[in-house]
Structure 1
Amino acid sequence: MKEKLMNQIFLEKPPLEKLIEEFLPTINYWANRYVYYGMPVISKEDLVSAGLIGLIEAYHRYDPSKNVKFKTYAEFRIKGAMLDEIRKLDIIPRSVKSKISDFEERLRKLYQELGRMPEDEEIAKFMELSLEEYYKFLESIKGITFIDVESLKQKFPELEEESIFDLIAGDQREDPFEKYALKELQEKLEKALECLSEKERLVLALYYYEGLTMKEIAKILDYTESRISQIHNKAILKLRSLLNK
């Protein structure tokens, strides 16, 4: 009886108002981490809102009889709600996704032929586009994600989708098989980043790690916002082509 009572106290959830105050730092933490996933159309505020909804749902659905700590269950629901929000905002049409896949495949071939990452003029020529058409293509793919989760799930079938997100978020996994696959993926990402130009790495760092907007980056680097968007999208395409080869 005493053990059952102690378990009930340990698993019990506090009042909702106190809960929101207690979990807000956790929600902010995961929002900051997951925004690095690379959806330019999603903001930290969107993810915080999703996290709060996940917390409230956890509050109403929690069942102490399952013998799971409320904190564990709530964090699971918070992260799940954020991932659902990211999936909903995958707004790139299929026709554009097809063009992106074709571009990535051609870029991989050109990279292998040259033994280095090609310049803009070389990419445009290989794609049978003028330089202006190539830049217009880069502008047309707003919303492209940092990592193509579907392709990575095929390459690393032992990883759950959440594990791939957590790699970007910096979360640690305990399962040895997952840890091995995540380490391999992380090494590929680090090598891919080394293939980008200094300017491309700078734009990604300012956007994803410093949290600046395209407009703010343009002002710092003395470029137009459109040009920063092109550099960002080009860098993302290069990373995807290298990660999925």
Structure 2
Amino acid sequence: MSAMPQQAQFERGTPLTYTPRSRARDEGALVREHLPLVRRLAWHVHGSVSTAVEVEDLVQVGLVALVEAAGSFEDRGQVTFKQYLSTRLRGAMIDELRRHAAMTRGAIKRRREYQRAIKSLTSASGRAPTEVEIAATLEISVAKLRSDYATAEAVQFDSIDEVYADDQPWFASDEPNAFEQLAEGQVRDRLIAAIASLPERDQMVIQLYHVEELNLEEIGAVLGVGAARVCQIKSAAQAKLKKAMLRAT
């Protein structure tokens, strides 16, 4: 490209301006706009499994996935960024759950205590703590620190028959889940009719959980009840739907 137009502009005294890349601005806007989605999905995933991974850990994983998704997304008119991001977030969070799936609860607890002790001592002294200091903080011997805490990555091998559960994400496949399969063709019409026959509160719980993807605590805040009560309502509503669908077949 010829430099003559720029040279002429310079000679006329017109200042040259620099405009930041619009793509960078767009990525920043996407990240800020979808921050609430990260936390909402983290709570939803956390509420559907055991508490082996803290929700804040899932949020951190989701934030990384959000930044990566904002940088890699190409709008081809097929899916929205929110749809694309939801898939990326779920995948990243489930991968994190799978990574922790084989750890025993005791090992997880010891690892957290070990990390908290290191963080506290480092913050207080401004340096990495010694084994003696960490052991004193945890009120254990150095030998126990080395055997049970510093290497708290214990793996527990269980029979697949004992640990398998359909609702656990690490056993999930890429195929449509049962709820999505029921939403097709004539079955969809029967399902809609079955949902419509439920009490109003049951309908709301099904809508908020399966469509809006709120977790049990968020639904409880909407209904003014606890998460445990929401779980009871959801289970009862799903049982009613199952019976209604079986009668319709």
- Please confirm whether the aligned pair reaches a TM-score higher than 0.5, indicating the same fold: no
Give the greater-gyration-radius structure (CA).
2
Normalised by the length of structure 2, the TM-score is: 0.36
Q: Which has the higher contact order (CA 8 A, sep 6+)?
A: 1
